[in-house]
Structure 1
Amino acid sequence: MKHYKTEGIIIRVSDYNEADRIVTILTSGYGKVQAIAKGCRKPKSRKRGLIQLFTHGEFALYKGRNLETITQCEGKQSFPGIRGDLDRMAYAVYMAEVLDGFAVSGEDQSELFYLALVCLHLLSVEDPELVIRAFEVRIMKLLGYMPHLDDCVYCGNPLTGLQAAFSSHMGGGLCKTCSTSDPEAAVCTLGTMNMLKQLSRWDLKRLRVLKMTPKMKREIGEIMQQYISQRLEKRIRSADFIQSLASVQNNG
């Protein structure tokens, strides 16, 4: 099959030569696809406004030796609500980096694709930090990496009291007694642990009614970014930009 069509979302873009772009597309049926869009940077190119980060569209592709070639692209959505807001854009870039890290080529990735599509819609209109906290938990659950939160991952005793900890190395929560077993464990409240479990099963379209304190958002962000980096075996670079952006806003 040399020619094929697929629905997808562009999750990575880089300029190539003077007129081309190389993109990574998260598709439903073919997983992660890398393709070249020839001539898309030319002023009169029909693809110029479509070959951009987060474009959701229908792509006609020609299978090459190393890269596919985009022969046609019909845009469905470009999410202007994200592009026009620096915070939303930063969180969307973070989401795309995580998706790029976990998505694989040549496999059915329909659940991952639809999670990405729903979260892009929500990032356009809802609290972006809340959306990303939900995305982090849901992608871990979807990929079979959901952390152990029902009891202490080290001793097996119930997580009780006000304070707990989360160990990325051990893959779950630690009770107060066992929190010292991992020096790198992130200290958090038990309420944050319970919120992680709630996010794993909450209806994403009803996120706005979920009551999450700023402290919970911060703790979940610290926990999940560390945990995701552990699973990917690399630091998520866009997370550093989000932190620097938050520091500027807090000091402004």
Structure 2
Amino acid sequence: MKLYKVDAIVLRSIECGNGDKLLVIFSREHGKMKVMAHGVTKPSSRKRGSVQPFTYTKFLIHRGRELDSVSQCEGIEMFPFLRADLGIISYASYLAELVQCLIPEGEQNEPLFRLLLETMRLMKEREAEILTRSFELKAAGLMGYLPVLEACAHCGEPPAGSLFFSAETGGVLCEACGAGDPRAVPVSRGMVETLKALLNWPQDRLRQLKISPADRKRIKTLLYDYLKYYLERDLKSASFINRFAEEP
């Protein structure tokens, strides 16, 4: 069939000239896709609002020889609050970039799609930072990168004594294993329990989680280093978040 329908979240849009945009979308049906949207930047285009980043849109796609194109589209949820606050924009951009890095093109992953959509919805009322930390852990788990938190990632025994975390080894280390790993970083038991809560609690319950500013900063660094190790790349949006957080 030359035409097919998808419900998708717009992750990125790239100007191509002549009013065209290349869209990177994450669809419920086909996973990550690249499609061309012709003429959408023109003032007369009815598609303009529905192809903006962080928009949940119903697309009618025309199958092409090399690249599929948008035949029709209608916004389902526009999420205007994601564009109204610089802090929330930075977290939404980070989630979009993380999804682009995590999932190969054309690979369906409906649990990850639902997680992204729910997280975007909840950013209107709850802390974007904690939602993002939880998304990092849950998304890593859905893609097979879940860190080991219940046992020592090296020896498999219940973690005893002082605890460490190693991205290279894949999670929490006991005192004996952590002492022998020069790249492992010390973590408190409270921080490990917080990581478990971020992983296991539903997204809509996370506002009940109390995390000190110091632990927030350490967890952010720990999870980013963990993801960077497995993705083998830096994420540009994370640098923007850090710069924004440091401004008065």
**Could you say which TM-score interval applies, normalised by the shorter chain?**
over 0.9
Q: C-alpha offsets along residues 116-173 of structure 1, whole Å, 9 cap, x if unaligned? A: 1001011222111011011011111222221111122223343245x52211111011
- Measured after TM superposition, the shift of residue 196 of structure 1 is 1.2
Supply the AA of the counterpart residue of 1:189: S
Q: Does 1:128 align with 2:94?
A: no
What corresponds to 1:218 in structure 2?
217
Structure 2: gaps spanning 5 or more residues: none
TM-score, structure 1 as length reference: 0.93
- Measured after TM superposition, the shift of residue 229 of structure 1 is 1.3
- Measured after TM superposition, the shift of residue 41 of structure 1 is 0.5
Number of equivalences: 248
Q: Does 1:232 align with 2:231?
A: yes
- Measured after TM superposition, the shift of residue 66 of structure 1 is 2.6
Contact 1:186 1:222 in 2 (8 A): no
* SS across alignment from 1:217: helix
TM-score, structure 2 as length reference: 0.94
Cα distance in 2 for residues equivalent to 1:192 and 1:65: 51
* SS across alignment from 2:169: coil
What corresponds to 1:147 in structure 2?
147
What corresponds to 1:173 in structure 2?
172
Q: Does 1:47 align with 2:43?
A: no
Supply the AA of the counterpart residue of 2:189: L
- Measured after TM superposition, the shift of residue 183 of structure 1 is 2.8
Supply the AA of the counterpart residue of 2:217: R
Supply the AA of the counterpart residue of 1:33: M
Supply the AA of the counterpart residue of 2:123: L
Cα distance in 2 for residues equivalent to 1:176 and 1:57: 49
Rate the CA distance shift 1:210–1:112 in 2: closer, same or farther, 3 A.
same
* SS across alignment from 1:227: helix
Q: What is the 5 A alignment of 1:1-252?
A: 1-161=1-161, 163-248=162-247, 252=248
Structure 1: gaps spanning 5 or more residues: none
Cα distance in 1 for residues equivalent to 2:121 and 2:244: 22
* SS across alignment from 1:50: helix
Cα distance in 2 for residues equivalent to 1:56 and 1:200: 25
Structure 1 stretches of 4+ moved >4 Å:
none
Supply the AA of the counterpart residue of 1:207: L
Contact 1:160 1:190 in 2 (8 A): no
Supply the AA of the counterpart residue of 2:84: G
Cα distance in 2 for residues equivalent to 1:181 and 1:97: 34
Supply the AA of the counterpart residue of 1:243: N
Contact 1:29 1:108 in 2 (8 A): yes
Cα distance in 2 for residues equivalent to 1:240 and 1:160: 35
- Measured after TM superposition, the shift of residue 24 of structure 1 is 0.6
Cα distance in 2 for residues equivalent to 1:38 and 1:103: 26
Contact 2:54 2:82 in 1 (8 A): no
Rate the CA distance shift 1:159–1:67 in 2: closer, same or farther, 3 A.
same
Supply the AA of the counterpart residue of 1:230: Y
Contact 2:51 2:57 in 1 (8 A): no
* SS across alignment from 1:66: coil
* SS across alignment from 1:41: coil
Supply the AA of the counterpart residue of 1:14: I
Among the aligned pairs, what percent are the same residue?
Answer: 37
